[in-house]
Amino acid sequence: MDHIEILIKLLIAHLLGDFFFQPKSWSDKRRKYRFRSIHLYVHAAIHGLLIYVLVGDFIVDDQYTFEVGGKNKKQKQIAGIEKSYIAADNIEYNYQNRIPLWLFSETFRRGLFVDHCTSW
């Protein structure tokens, strides 16, 4: 799965989560009650689920396998797969073959910036 395909799937997940799976009443309550609103957390969970369903696990350049999961994700899904990594949420630093999920976003953002600057 290339970067553009991942970006498109993330955008689709975002649009579905914001406009299809979120009633206006949830949005109003989120704005009114902010972090105290249960609808904020349900909304975030829906986004996470949509991202997992649409993007899930992926292969980059036909050689690197990434298994997406939480910080307690086990190695059994990628056991025996060469060049495989776990993209884990709720971790700050990479260790062994576990990479923080936030790092993908940061790398993609910086990559777009560098690509934009070098195309002038």
pLDDT tens figures, 41-91: 888 888 877 877 777 677 777 788 888 777 777 888 788 888 888 888 788
Q: Which pLDDT belongs to residue 107? A: 60
Other residues' Cβ atoms within 10 Å of the Cβ of residue 85: 18
CB 43 within 8 A of CB 26: yes
Phi, psi of 70 (to 5 degrees): -85, 180
- Tracing tokens 């975002």 back to the chain, one arrives at 14
> For the residues 96-102, what does the mean pLDDT come to?
82
Q: What is the chain's mean pLDDT, rounded?
A: 76
Phi, psi of 65 (to 5 degrees): -105, 130
Q: Which pLDDT belongs to residue 116? A: 39
CB 84 within 8 A of CB 97: yes
Q: What is the CA radius of gyration of the chain?
A: 17
Which residues partner with 57 through β-bridges? none
Per-residue pLDDT at 115 exceeds 80: no
Q: Report the distance separating Cα 65 and Cα 81, nearest Å.
A: 8
> For the residues 14-31, what does the mean pLDDT come to?
85
pTM score, two decimals? 0.47
Q: How confident is the model at residue 101 (pLDDT cuts 50, 70, 90)?
A: confident
